[in-house]
Amino acid sequence: MQVGLIIIGDEILSGKRQDSHLAKFIELLSQRGMQLAWAQYLGDDRELLVGRLREAFASGDLIVSCGGIGATPDDHTRQSAAMALGRPLALHPEARELIWQRIQQMAAEQGKTVGPDEPDTHRRLEMGVFPEGAGIIPNPFNKIPGFYVGNVHFVPGFPVMAHPMMAWVLDRYPQLHRQVGVIERSLIVQGAMEASLTPLMEAVETGFPGVKVFSLPSVDHPQWGRCIELGVKGDAEQLSPAYDALKQGVIQFGASISTELVR
């Protein structure tokens, strides 16, 4: 099972707001010894969302989708999820109770009373209308929940709400958590071209199936100038021998190693 992230919102794609979900999600994954396999940014376009979400539900991946689950005309995520699943939308009974509690709490703070049949109440309850059969994701910030169907989870776009809800989602999958001390080791290599080191990289990946080799070239690094950060990441048991093989291969190639990094 891979882990994916979908970030929805025209405001992200237009630059009106800067995304903070990707970095936070990677941090939350890292705390649990997990890694992100892919991420997508999508606009508030219902037809586009239906297609992408249909693929998400069919993928078997653990996926978190951020944004677009409100009840305003520019929010399409709940409707798109239902269409992708071929299910009707329905007011979730537990979501209804949580949202009603929030409505009453807000009214009390303002010294007002509110009824369950008022138009504003009905509009706010729309935020609890999810694809039929969905489960809910608790929202510790204001009680208005997100939802999930299978391994695909939907949270709000507001970081203060979304980030603790992301953590809750990841903790639904303790079987994917790993206690990993070191997941990445690398070398700063000088005096070699990336293409010339490719056979070495391929040999290390072949010899250590639980490890990925990565290469990050720089032409003007502020400390090392023209260089390549060459490293391995992945399975903790194989990481050290894979790193040793990579380092020995660089030495045999005749390149110089400026420093070694551990993350």
* Chain segment 205-219, per-residue pLDDT in tens: 999 988 999 999 999
Residue 18, φ and ψ in degrees, nearest 5: -90, 135
What is the pTM for the complete model shown?
0.82
Averaged pLDDT for residues 70-85: 95
- Is residue 181 over pLDDT 60? no
Counting residues of the chain whose pLDDT is more than 70, the rounded percentage is 99
Q: Give the tens place of pLDDT for each residue, 143-164.
A: 999 999 999 999 999 999 999 9
Stated as kind and residue range, the H or E segment containing 40 is strand 38-42
Return the CATH superfamily for domain 3-176.
Answer: MoaB/Mog-like domain (3.40.980.10)
Q: Give the model confidence (pLDDT) of 119-138 as tens digits.
A: 888 889 999 999 999 999 99
Determine the pLDDT at residue 210. 82
Smallest CA-to-CA distance from 240 within 209, 211, 203 is with: 211
The topology under which CATH files domain 184-262 is Alpha-Beta Plaits (3.30.70)
For the chain, the structural domain boundaries read 3-176, 184-262
Residue 180 pLDDT grade (very low, low, confident, very high; cuts 50, 70, 90):
low
Do residues 250 and 187 touch, judged by C-beta distance below 8 A? Answer: yes
**Average pLDDT over the chain, rounded to an integer:** 93
Q: Given this model, what pLDDT does residue 134 score?
A: 98
pLDDT at 78 over 60: yes
